[in-house]
Amino acid sequence: MQAMVIVPSTDGGTLELRNVPDPVPGPGELLLRVRATALNRADLAQRRGAYPAPVKASDSGLAIAGLEAAGEVVGMGSEVAGFAVGDRVMAMCAGGASV
């Protein structure tokens, strides 16, 4: 899959569209097929190194940008209730929504 990745550098960092491994939802998480996302002020601050990336958004070794997304549920963790595959959702995420 593709994601907007924050690449640190000495001149304030860059944003790059890269291929990254497919995420696997944890016990209380939904996996979305993202149809719309955005980069906001927090993402730009992360790019500059002024705002730490959430741990989950960077657990692959790459800081994946994005705090909001809209799409469909394609998978879910074992502890998720109230959602079904195919549900259309919008979300505020801890990070990693630009996939």
Q: At CA 94, angle to CA 12 and CA 20, rounded to 5?
A: 65
* Cα distance between residue 85 and residue 67, in whole Å: 21
Indicate the pairing of strand 14-19 with strand 2-7: antiparallel
- Would you give per-residue pLDDT tens digits along the chain (99 residues)? 888 888 877 777 888 999 988 889 999 999 999 999 988 888 888 888 787 766 555 555 678 888 899 999 999 999 999 999 999 999 998 778 877
The residue type found at 78 is S
Q: Which domains does the chain have, with CATH numbers?
A: 2-92 (3.90.180.10)
- Backbone φ and ψ for 43, nearest 5 degrees, come out as -65, -40
Does the pTM surpass 0.85? The reply is: no
Q: What is the pLDDT of residue 43?
A: 84
